[in-house]
Chains A and B, each alone.
Chain A
């Protein structure tokens, strides 16, 4: 159960750093929005976003598919996204998880906080990339 203070900190992150980071990420990766598979990829990310473990497994799996050259157009996108999610995981552990816990406790708590942060980032990213594709690009 999250404390009120943690909920507030997560809201501030979602509205601040995570939103700004998602905007920047979308600008840097806007090329993939033109790909025919884009809608499916974004939908997949949104489906897994609420569960940190599933989200990271999905992104790692997509990175493996890139290496097998099945998702070439997304090379930059999924590599950058894996890096971003790693950063979110580190922030979750460093900023929210108390020191001195067991490995399992640390992993569980990190997962709980990272899940909320990752979910917010993916929602912002999906909305912005859709916006860029359908509104900005098409005028």
Chain B
């Protein structure tokens, strides 16, 4: 069981990194809205569900790959491949940065997996919000 202070330091670092996701999440959220439109909202809900319940980062990676391969709307605008690249590379780098910052955290450990999953959940949550916002403006036909 993780030490309480270590956990708090980890959570703080994840929150600080998550603040930096805004622009990427906004860009991908808009692309997802263009690709999926608003009648495929269940796809984003399913993505959030997988991210929030996964015990391994590879579960999320496999889900994104399979959805992108099977559904053309995940490939429209290449948002599916960009999402995969972000969670496998950028968030992995963020995980490594957090683990090197916080003493007692190792990238290749259960805690490292937890950090990476937390980052994925934060990002996917932001992406989902930007998707909903973009869909709302698409419905109204207005500019953002």
Contacts and interface: CB of A to CB of B under 8 A. Distances in A.
Interface of A: 8, 11-12, 14-16, 18-19, 120, 123-124, 126-128, 130-131, 133-135
A49 to B, nearest CB: 12
- Which secondary structure dominates where chain B touches chain A? helix
B61 A127 contact: yes
Contacts of A126: 62, 66
A61 to B, nearest CB: 25
Nearest to B75: A135
- Which secondary structure dominates where chain A touches chain B? helix
B74 to A, nearest CB: 9
B58 interface: yes
B61 to A, nearest CB: 7
Contacts of A16: 108
19 contacts: A8-B110, A12-B108, A12-B110, A12-B113, A14-B58, A15-B56, A15-B58, A16-B108, A19-B58, A19-B61, A120-B56, A124-B62, A126-B62, A126-B66, A127-B61, A127-B66, A130-B65, A133-B69, A135-B75
Max chain A Cβ within 10 angstroms of own Cβ: one of B57, B66, B69, B110: B69
B68 interface: yes
Interface in B43-99: 55-58, 61-63, 65-66, 68-70, 75, 80-81
Nearest to B72: A134
A11 B108 CA distance: 11
B55 A11 contact: yes
B109 interface: yes
Q: Give the contact-size bracket for chain B.
A: 10 to 19
Interface of B: 55-58, 61-63, 65-66, 68-70, 75, 80-81, 108-110, 113
Contacts of B56: 11, 14-15, 120
B69 A120 contact: no
Contacts of A127: 61-63, 65-66, 69
Given A126-B66, A127-B62, A130-B65, 13 more contacts: A12-B109, A15-B113, A127-B63, A127-B65, A127-B69, A130-B66, A130-B69, A131-B66, A131-B68, A134-B69, A135-B65, A135-B69, A135-B81
A15 B57 contact: yes
A124 B58 CA distance: 8
